[in-house]
Amino acid sequence: MSYIPKPSFRHPQLPVNDLGLTVRDYEGALSTLCAGCGHDSISSAVMQACHQMALEPYRVAKMSGIGCSSKTPNYFLNQAHGFNAVHGRMPSVTTGANLANRDLIYIGMSGDGDTASIGIGQFIHAVRRRLNMVYIVANNGTYGLTKGQNSATADRGSLAKKGSANPWDNVDLVTMAIQAGAGFVARSFSGDKAQLVPLLQAAIAHNGFAFIDCISPCVTFNNHRGSTKSFDYVREHNTALNRTDFIPMKEEITADYQPGEFTDVCLHDGSVMRLHKMAADGAAGYDPQDRVAALDHIQRRSAAGEVLTGLLYLEPNAPDMHEVMETAEQPLNQLGERELCPGREVLQTINASFR
């Protein structure tokens, strides 16, 4: 816990959003992570995304498991309820929360240990149920809280701080998420907020499972030469597939670009995600709504040693968990005796069926 109180000073001319809130109204407690931690940049990107979308903070539920990443929900959106569950089990708790109240926005913060190791089963099953949530993995390839063991997303051959090479193959969460049926899959980098913030906005607007694998270097245990999750390594090997603009539903779409340079995708809530192709280094790009092409491309770029970032796959109109389950429109937690209890007379009929 931090013993330094967070200063309450705010600049008088901070921009306000449609709710009249400044970005400071989206803040949380003071972070207790290491200075320079990539995860703090993700928290800050979440605040910016929510502020720009003018989300009411209290309509968000912040979900997490255990680990450095899972502490971050405490560091943004103070007016939102948060749930720091047990290790690797955030997906099931979020599933239950969403079943109880489909009207809130669920933002889950997890890490590579929490998701790719202990929680890989729950992750996959939340994906395949198309749970309507934003699932962010702050991916640093290492266990920070227990001081630097390799995680399951560490690349084979990546060097640990003490010099040993990781002997095991890595788990690639984005291909796994696409295969399991996630409707929105992106990879980003905590050091690239210009890319991350619009991706977060689009992920929040997406109806269904929106997954962002965010490479987020661990400055203390995994930011050295020879690590494939260091700031330097990711900067050097980052291949941005596209750049995203998020255009909220109410804004008029103005064309600043030549046709052919971008694709507009209409999201569930009517807002638009504009994808600017960035075919650098011979990466020809592909239609992000083509699942097979996405998987093919991600694996080719990975084999070429690149860290492919951007929006990788999108299926904007797939039904989410509630549509599949045909649950009531009204959140289940708002139903009372009138809707739930069939009453005495019906029970007498049921009794008769047992005679």
Partner 1 sequence: MVAVASTNEFVVKFANVNGTGSASANHLFAKALFRMGIPVSPRNLFPSNIQGLPTWYEVRISEQGYLGRRSDRVELVVAMNPQSFTADVDSLVPGGYLLYDSTKLIDLSRYRDDIHWLGIPLMDICMREYQDPRQRQIFKNIIYVGALAALLNIEFPVVKDLIADQFRGKEKLIAPNIHALELGHQYASQNFDCPLGIQVRRRDLLGDAILVDGNTAAALGCVYGGATVASWYPITPSTSLVEAFEKYANRLRIDPGSGNKNFAILQAEDEISAMGIVIGASWNGARAFTATSGPGVSLMTEFLGLAYYAEIPVVLFNVQRGGPSTGMPTRTQQADLLSSAYASHGDTKHILLFPADPRDSFELAAQAFDLAERLQTPVIVMLDLELGMNDWVSPPFDWDDRRRYDRGKVLDAGQLQALDTFGRYVDVDGDGIPYRTYPGTHPDKGAFFTRGTSHNPFAGYSESNTDYVENVDRITRKFTTACDVLPAPVVGKSKRSSSLHGVVYIGTTALVMNEVIDRLGELGVSLDTLQVRAFPFHAEVFKFIKNHQKVFVIDQNRDGQLRTLLINEGDIDPAKLVSILHYDGHPITAATVIDAVVGHLDVKTGRPSPAVQVPPQEVEQ
- By CB under 8 A, tell whether 333 contacts partner 1: yes
Q: Which of 17, 22, 84, 289 binds partner 1 (CB under 8 A)?
A: 84
Which CB atom, from 61 or from 154, has the smaller least distance to partner 1?
A: 61
Shortest spacing between CB 209 and partner 1, in angstroms = 15
Q: By CB under 8 A, which span of 153-161, 231-239, 279-287, 342-350 interacts with partner 1?
A: 342-350
- By CB under 8 A, tell whether 82 contacts partner 1: yes
Q: Which of 50, 85, 185, 196 binds partner 1 (CB under 8 A)?
A: 85
Which CB atom, from 192 or from 320, has the smaller least distance to partner 1?
A: 320
User: Would you tell me how many other CB atoms lie within 10 Å of the CB of residue 306?
Assistant: 18
- By CB under 8 A, tell whether 289 contacts partner 1: no
Q: Which of 6, 10, 81, 300 binds partner 1 (CB under 8 A)?
A: 81
3-state secondary structure of 286: coil
Which CB atom, from 280 or from 346, has the smaller least distance to partner 1?
A: 346
What does the per-residue mask of binding to partner 1 show for 39-78, with x meaning CB under 8 A?
A: -----------------xxxx-x-----------xx---x
In sequence order, which ranges of 168-240 are alpha helices (DSSP H)? 173-180, 193-205, 231-237
Q: What values do phi and psi take at 155, rounded to 5?
A: -70, 150
What type of residue is 110? S
Of 110-139, binders to partner 1 (CB under 8 A) are 121-122, 124-125, 129
Which CB atom, from 59 or from 235, has the smaller least distance to partner 1?
A: 59
CA dist., res. 9 & res. 4, Å (int)? 14
- By CB under 8 A, tell whether 10 contacts partner 1: no
CA dist., res. 102 & res. 121, Å (int)? 23
CA dist., res. 178 & res. 175, Å (int)? 5
- By CB under 8 A, tell whether 335 contacts partner 1: yes
Which CB atom, from 33 or from 294, has the smaller least distance to partner 1?
A: 33
Handedness of CA 223, 225, 226, 232 (dihedral sign): positive
DSSP 154: S
- By CB under 8 A, tell whether 93 contacts partner 1: yes
CA dist., res. 46 & res. 304, Å (int)? 31
Which CB atom, from 85 or from 298, has the smaller least distance to partner 1?
A: 85
Shortest spacing between CB 182 and partner 1, in angstroms = 16
Give the β-pairing of 307-314 and 184-189: antiparallel
Quote the Cα angle for 190-237-186, to 5°. Answer: 50
Shortest spacing between CB 4 and partner 1, in angstroms = 15
Distances from the Cα of 277 to the Cα of 30, 263, 310, angstroms = 37, 8, 10
CA dist., res. 28 & res. 133, Å (int)? 20
Q: What values do phi and psi take at 90, rounded to 5?
A: -55, -40
Quote the Cα angle for 231-235-238, to 5°. Answer: 130
Binding stretches for partner 1 (CB under 8 A): 1, 56-59, 61, 73-74, 78-86, 89, 91-101, 103-104, 121-122, 124-125, 129, 325-329, 332-333, 335-337, 339-344, 346-348, 350-351, 354-355
